Structure 1
Amino acid sequence: RQALDRAVSDRPVYLPNRDRHGAWVNSRALRLAGIDAETPDPADGRLERDHSGVPTGMLHEGAMALVARLVPEPTPQRRLDALAVAQLRLHELGVVAWQDAIVGEYAGSGDLLPTYVTAARDNLLTARVTGALWWDRERGLEQVAELAQRREIGTVGRFRPLAVKIMVDGVVEAFTAAMLAPYVGGDGTGTSFVDAALLREAVRELDLLGFQVHVHAIGDRAVRDALDAFEAARDSNGPSGGRHHIAHLQVVHPDDVDRFAALDVAANMQALWACHDDQMDDLTLPVLGPERVGWQYPFADLHRVGTRLACGSDWPVSTPDPLQAIKVAVTRVEPGTDGPPLLPEQSLSLPTALRAYTAGSAYVTHDDDAGVLRPGARGDLVVLDRDVFAAPAADVDQARVDLTVVDGRIVHDRDA
């Protein structure tokens, strides 16, 4: 807070970090929110404190809400304008459809369901969007019926809120990813935002209602809890057509790799993160220890056992450019660098990575008529400026999108 106070002292400052798992605030914001040394940590978050117990202005996870609730809401028109800008940017990168992983109130971001409904009703959506309705981790099973109602009122035109997103844990660098064993240098094992027993019951009920369940899981304990929940739902309800998936999968215990295919749970991977960068090398590797470092982003292992692979960006956490992420999937090297690969044995072939970003992502959005080229399929096409198979796979990120076509309609033309 002191650094922010020196820059801005007369008005509150709230700066969420790029991964939306933490925020920095100044003293003015802390005072307005009534936060001081006596304020307890919320159940799903933490206030960073100095040696005397005074909050430093760093808010982790659920603690963000203590200040975020004071941030003014953007107008409905501003949200529509922002969606239009985002859609244009995604089309420029060759994206024709996406799943929005948080449709609901989270970390100071308002509920986007009305925005999507308006955009779909007024034919402002050129992409097809699957919404993942947000699971409020401060509540319990009573919200299941409300989520079903939101699905009904939100299904309009090109927008379908078919999924429910449950964030089970946080991130490694903030010590909030849920781990099976303690972090190196500490005695904590991270945070489970949803109790394992509640998670099993929630997944069972959502599966029974035909929802897809989309789980955020970074740590190995979070991944195992999610798989246990999907297994319990399968045992109770039978095989599901929900196309459930677990996103991120940073640390997966080797004992759990085979379970994805066995339970028909898709691996929703953000391949761009599977490389050496400052966050990985400075904040992650030291606290995981050598054994767990080797369990990170096990894409090849998951593929070898027959797991359905889907890939996405988690934008705005990181770039939405699929070609940059595909480069990392095949090289495990950060784009624009020539450093050593991270666990190169977990790299994917170029065809496999492309399939995960096309047919794989179409699968988890319940769209079997997309992500493929075949007679009679929908006219969703992306034209690149080169044949990426005629050059080294490591150069795939050098390609540029010349043309993006959705339903036979040109939505991006680089030469226009």
Structure 2
Amino acid sequence: MSAADVLFTGGAVFTGTGQPIQGHVVAVTGDRITAIVPEAEAQALIGEGTQVVQLDGALLSPGFQDAHVHPVGGGVELLQCNLTEAEDADDAVATIAAYAAANPDEAWILGGGWSMDHFPGGAPVRGLIDAVVPDRPVLLMSRDHHSSWANSAAIRLAGIDATTPDPVDGRIEREADGSPAGTFHEGASGLFAHVRPEEDEDFVYRGLLKAQEELIALGITGWQDAMVGGQASGVSDPMGAYRRALAEDKLLVHVVGAQWWERSEGLEQLAGMVAAQTEIVALGREDKLSLGTVKIMVDGVAENQTAAMLTPYRDGHGHDTDNSGLSFVDPKLLQEAVTAIDATGMQVHMHALGDRAVREALDAVEAARAANGASDGRHHLAHLQIVAEADTARFAELDAVANLQALWATHEDQIDHLTLPFLQDGQEARQYPFGDLVRNGARLAAGSDWPVSSADPMDAIHIAVTRIAPGLDAGPLGGEHQRLDLETAMAAYTSGSAYVNHRDHDTGYIREGYLANLIVLEPNPFSLPKEEIHRATVTSTWIEGTSAFTRTA
């Protein structure tokens, strides 16, 4: 054995699956893991130039990979009016006022991060912003990015009034006379698209670099961007920023871009997606950037009652309504689209939150398999808030991956006040049924949907294992049987997401020959009681054998 460049010793090693191994060292030479041997053999790997990293009981793990994230939009929002830290409605309004005062030359005030649970019915009104910013248009996305909050100036500029109909894929909250109240759900947010400014390319690029810095500090060494080629929150297609980062050697992580399927269009858009993928392949840098995925938004979200359900939502008195949510893509067209995408060899990534949406997405994967045979598409369904019990076994049968956003699988105000009271009896038990999926053999991946919620994998892993947010005095959402064990949750965020990203041949595991994309977690989460898993923090991130982040405090 030759001397290593870096040697990690003195801690357990999570290899990407199963329980951590004890009493071993991990050697890195160049950008690769070159040896995993018992500590007794470590001396043979230490040379004059070897950097010995003493773990002191911390855990060495493969770098996390986020299988569903919006990093460029998240980074841009950090540079705009950011409401994610607001504790209530008054705090949100005060943040808007402070931002407006600090940025008097901005023609529009843009940003987001407000929480639906801070406002009655989850719908803030325009008058709250008018009171502090009456003279400039303000448009702010909700934290879940399924609704927008606008002031009167923005609404007037967009030409929206009582006569404006709801779009087929969205809803305008209205006052008694039909005038816009200030909140615009789903596709209704698009009513501002013709007047709101797009961010300039340099600003978007700054957003990408800011996001990359934030995510690397959380141990994330690769991700799947869940929306490229479309427009999210007014941020133009992030591919320009990615390509610039690649050209300037600033893209440190590896990125899979999921090309956005325009639900107002049909199969004719697929040819352009294949061409875009081919163009990126021609750059010869698929180790850093690829475009082999198509993202389809099957439905909305439960808190604004646009998630597609098998049963109707209830009203505030517990009576059934005539609303069971929205299927954004006709189920027959969805089957045709997934079949056509699969036939090209590309992957399909579907937002499927309600139980009807999950069924429609699985039906589409089944149709593709019937038409094309088995493939290596590694198609995946994200969010999975409600999955009918009969459908949990279909994931394994269809080789469909369950892409979990585990941070949401806990009681909190938004689900307790804006979702569960409006669902049918028994549906609380079907919330985020991770345990059922595992027992039925589903393959798991994991992601954050940041900036919808925290990007920190350890926050999500804590909830995957406990189903209870730290400090919350409540029982586990959906019951204890939906909990995951820690090694399964860790695997979902490492080897599971690597599989979805078609990068399991060189990332997601600690194995000889694999890229040295590694993180150090302290304390070792496997040594903590379950209720303290969230205390484990990334203290260093290594990308291709080079230190990319070290926590200093």
User: TM-score, normalization: structure 2?
Assistant: 0.74
Residue 303 (structure 2) pairs with residue 173 (structure 1): yes
CA contact (8 A) 1:68 1:107 kept: no
2:328 corresponds to 1:328:
no
Q: Residue 379 of structure 1 aligns with which residue?
A: 516
Higher relative contact order at CA 8 Å, sep ≥6: structure 1 or structure 2? Answer: 2
Which among 162, 168, 177 is matched to residue 52 of structure 1? 177
**Mapping 1:238-317, distance limit 5 Å:** 238-317=373-452
Is 1:62–1:107's contact at 8 Å kept on the other side of the alignment? no
Q: Which of 132, 138, 155 matches 1:13?
A: 138
Which residue of 2 is the match for residue 132 of structure 1? 258
Q: Which stretch of structure 1 is more off in the superposition, 184-193 or 93-102?
A: 184-193
Give the conservation status (yes or no) of the 8 Å contact 1:211–1:242: yes
Tell me which amino acid in the other structure corresponds to 2:482. Answer: Q
SS in 2 for 1:353: helix
Cα distance in 1, alignment partners of residues 153 and 522 from structure 2:
51
Q: Which runs of 5+ in 2 are unaligned?
A: 1-125, 316-320
Structure 2 counterpart SS, 1:142: helix
Distance 1:338 1:390 in 2: 24
Distance 1:298 1:14 in 2: 35
What residue in structure 1 maps to residue 267 of structure 2? Answer: 141
- For 1:338-389, what per-residue CA distance to the aligned partner results, in whole angstroms no more than 9, with x for missing partners? 4322122100001111111110011111101211111111111111122221
- 2:475 aligned residue: 340
- CA distance in 2 between counterparts of 1:289 and 1:91 reads 41
Distance 1:69 1:215 in 2: 27
Q: Is the 8 A contact 2:445 2:496 kept in 1?
A: yes
Of residues 182, 186, 194, the one that matches 2:312 is 182
Shift, 1:410, TM fit:
1.1
Asked if structure 2 preserves the Cα contact closer than 8 Å seen for 1:212 and 1:243, the reply is yes
Q: Distance in 1 between matches of 2:510 and 2:172?
A: 50
1:154 counterpart residue number: 280
Contact 2:516 2:543 in 1 (8 A): yes
Aligned to 1:363: 499
1:58 and 1:390 map into 2 onto residues whose CA distance is 46
- 1:398 maps to which of 535, 542, 546: 535
Q: Which runs of 4+ in 1 moved over 3 A?
A: none
Counterpart residue number, 1:24: 149
2:448–2:457 Cα contact (<8 Å) kept = yes
Q: Distance in 1 between matches of 2:447 and 2:168?
A: 30
SS in 1 for 2:130: helix
Spell out, residue by residue over 1:227-270, the C-alpha distance to the aligned partner (whole angstroms, 9 max, x if none).
00000000000001010000000010111111000000000000
AA in 1 matched with 2:458: L
Question: SS at the partner of 1:136?
Answer: coil
Is the contact made by 1:14 and 1:68 (CA closer than 8 Å) also made in structure 2?
no
Which residue identity is paired with 1:124?
K
Identity %: 51
> Residue 202 of structure 2 aligns to which amino acid in structure 1?
Q
Q: 1:248, 1:166 → 2: CA distance?
A: 13
Q: What is the CA-CA distance between 1:79 and the residue it aligns to?
A: 1.3
The structure with the larger Rg is: 2
> How high is the TM-score relative to the length of structure 1?
0.97
Q: How far is the alpha carbon of 1:107 from its aligned partner?
A: 4.1
Query: Which whole-Å CA distance do the structure 1 matches of 2:292 and 2:246 have between them?
Result: 15
Corresponding residue of 1:349: 485
| 1:410 is aligned to 2:547 | yes
Paired position in structure 2 for 1:111 = 237
Select 2:248's aligned residue among 104, 115, 122.
122
Indicate how the Cα distance of structure 1 residues 207 and 24 shifts in structure 2: closer, same or farther if over 3 A, else same.
same
- Of 215, 219, 231, 1:90 maps to 215
Secondary structure of the structure 1 residue equivalent to 2:173: strand
Aligned residue for 2:162? 37
**In terms of mean alpha carbon deviation, does 181-190 or 235-244 score higher?**
181-190
- 2: CA distance between counterparts of 1:386 and 1:9? 49
Give the Cα–Cα distance (whole angstroms) in 2 for the partners of residues 88 and 29 of structure 1: 33
Tell me how far apart the structure 2 counterparts of residues 45 and 223 of structure 1 sit (CA, whole Å).
20
Tell me which amino acid in the other structure corresponds to 2:276: R
| Residues 384 and 180 (structure 1), Cα distance of their counterparts in 2 relative to 1, 3 Å cut | same
Distance in 2 separating the partners of 1:192 and 1:182: 13
What root-mean-square deviation, in Å, do the aligned CA atoms of Structure 1 and Structure 2 show? 1.3
2:53 corresponds to which residue? none
Partner in structure 2 of residue 163 of structure 1? 293
**Further displaced range: 331-340 or 355-364:** 331-340
Size of the alignment, in residue pairs? 416
In the alignment, the residues of structure 1 paired with residue 195 and residue 386 of structure 2 have an alpha-carbon distance, to the nearest angstrom, of: 35
Q: Which shifted more, 292-301 or 49-58?
A: 49-58
Partner of 1:235: 370
